[in-house]
């Protein structure tokens, strides 16, 4: 794969973070297909199988999309954007991302037709105009990141003019509102707590300018770039990471035990703490093992993101059609290796077509 940039021009821990993030995303979507994420099914598994299932789910959620978003903030919010740089960013990055998204909306629709789910021209047009969510589960990320990219130059200029320590109190308040409130809202669905509170929780403050959970992950990536948390010792971060990770697992077990079919999402406070501490720890990595393999996965990480779910759904469809059953944990291992390997092969082959890598897979 000679198109992968020379390691001399790449920061190894960033490649490691990209590789881990895409593998976690694949694990997350395997988990979605292997388990039925509802209270009745999860509690029927028994404690150990349920713990393993939710351990893998937490790994997929906390180690995937949040790491990608923090990488975006780390790399793009620390830049100087004058008028020329802003125009270049929108033309070179945002416009190409938009074209890539349109291409994949069409590809997804063609794929849905071939697996027997039907195609609607009207729905396809609505998806292209971003008036309807794309049917494939992972495709929500594209419209979200397009919206974020549009505003990155403005946010970067604002952040660069102020010392991070000055607006840290505001960041803490936003974290509480963006992550703590949704987590409390989820807890309030439990009958025992709802009977105490008496009504559902509903935050009335408008947080539109914060970018929500996704924007906060990006800003936190930028704050890590500034070195704001370097004084925190690594062993403390490891403890925080471990407690938050296990806390996320047991939080889900508790929710399911209470009869609530909880779908872990990125606005969970424990997921945020897990991801943020993990990213800071990644930034302190001195040595990346198996770097040649890591570099390849990292370079094609976004392309793998685009194609992996199509491969995953096709493989599960074949398994179901042939009545092939694989154990829960072996399925994660086998499917992770198979799907990632197939995705890499497909992406590498297509990227050899002139311009295909740039416009179909957003490769640089």
Instruction: Enumerate the domain spans of the chain.
Output: 7-78+162-360
pLDDT level of residue 3 (50, 70, 90 thresholds): very low
In the predicted model, what is the mean pLDDT of the chain? 88
Q: Are 185 and 253 in contact (CB under 8 A)?
A: no
% of the chain with per-residue pLDDT over 70: 91
Question: Burial, 318: exposed, middle or buried (Cβ in 10 Å; 0-12, 13-18, 19+)?
Answer: exposed
CA distance 274 to 297: 23
Dihedral of alpha carbons 82, 88, 90, 93, sign: negative
pLDDT level of residue 209 (50, 70, 90 thresholds): low
Amino acid 6: pLDDT: 46
Task: Report the b/e string of 336-347 with b at 16+ CB within 10 A.
Answer: beebbebbbebb
CA distance 297 to 343: 10
Neighbours of 286 (CB within 10 A): 6
Amino acid 9: pLDDT: 53
Helix axes 65-76, 269-282, angle to 10 degrees: 50
Report the pLDDT averaged over residues 205-225: 85
pLDDT tens digit sequence for 135-176: 776 778 888 999 999 999 999 998 888 888 788 888 888 888
pLDDT level of residue 210 (50, 70, 90 thresholds): low
Report the pLDDT averaged over residues 286-305: 95
Amino acid 197: pLDDT: 52
Is the per-residue pLDDT at 1 higher than 70? no
Closest CA to 278 of 356, 214, 352, 224: 224
Find the DSSP H helices in 176-268: 181-187, 191-197, 212-225, 234-257
Is the per-residue pLDDT at 2 higher than 50? no
Report the pLDDT averaged over residues 91-103: 92
Is the per-residue pLDDT at 131 higher than 90? no
Q: Are 150 and 74 in contact (CB under 8 A)?
A: no
Is the per-residue pLDDT at 193 higher than 60? no
Question: Burial, 284: exposed, middle or buried (Cβ in 10 Å; 0-12, 13-18, 19+)?
Answer: exposed
Q: Are 84 and 147 in contact (CB under 8 A)?
A: no
CA distance 189 to 201: 9
Kindly write down the DSSP assignment for every residue of 4-27, as one continuous string: SPPGGGS-HHHHHHHHHHHHHHHH
pLDDT level of residue 237 (50, 70, 90 thresholds): very high
pLDDT level of residue 59 (50, 70, 90 thresholds): very high
Which 8-state DSSP code applies to residue 139?
G
């Amino acid at each position: 794969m000679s198109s992968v940039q020379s390691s001399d021009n790449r920061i190894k821990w960033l490649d490691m973070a990209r590789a881990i993030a895409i593998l976690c995303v694949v694990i997350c979507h395997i988990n979605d297909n292997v388990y039925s994420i509802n209270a009745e099914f999860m509690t029927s598994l028994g404690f150990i199988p349920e713990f393993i299932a939710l351990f893998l789910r937490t790994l997929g959620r906390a180690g995937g999309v949040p790491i990608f978003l923090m990488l975006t903030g780390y790399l793009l919010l620390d830049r100087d954007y004058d008028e020329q740089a802003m125009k270049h960013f929108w033309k070179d990055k945002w416009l190409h991302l938009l074209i890539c998204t349109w291409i994949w909306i069409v590809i997804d629709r063609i794929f849905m037709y071939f697996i027997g789910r039907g195609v609607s021209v009207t729905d396809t047009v609505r998806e292209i105009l971003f008036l309807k969510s794309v049917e494939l589960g992972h495709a929500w990320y594209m419209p979200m990141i397009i919206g974020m990219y549009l505003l990155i130059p403005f946010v970067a200029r604002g952040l660069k003019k102020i010392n991070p320590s000055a607006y840290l109190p505001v960041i803490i308040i936003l974290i509480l509102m963006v992550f703590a409130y949704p987590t409390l809202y989820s807890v309030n669905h439990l009958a025992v707590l709802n009977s105490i509170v008496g009504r559902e929780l509903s935050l009335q403050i408008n947080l539109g300018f914060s970018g929500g959970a996704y924007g906060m992950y990006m800003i936190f990536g930028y704050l890590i770039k500034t070195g704001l948390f370097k004084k925190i010792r690594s062993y403390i971060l490891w403890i925080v990471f471990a407690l938050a990770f296990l806390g996320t697992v047991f939080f889900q077990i508790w929710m399911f035990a209470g009869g609530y079919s909880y779908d872990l999402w990125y606005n969970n406070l424990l997921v945020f703490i897990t991801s943020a501490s993990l990213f800071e720890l990644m930034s302190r990595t001195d040595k990346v093992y198996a770097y040649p393999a890591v570099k390849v996965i990292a370079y094609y990480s976004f392309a793998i993101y685009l194609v992996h779910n199509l491969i995953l759904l096709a493989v599960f469809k074949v398994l179901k059609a042939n009545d092939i059953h694989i154990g829960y944990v072996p399925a994660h291992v086998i499917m992770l290796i198979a799907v990632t390997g197939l995705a890499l092969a497909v992406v590498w082959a297509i990227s050899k077509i002139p311009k295909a890598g740039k416009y179909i897979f957003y490769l640089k």
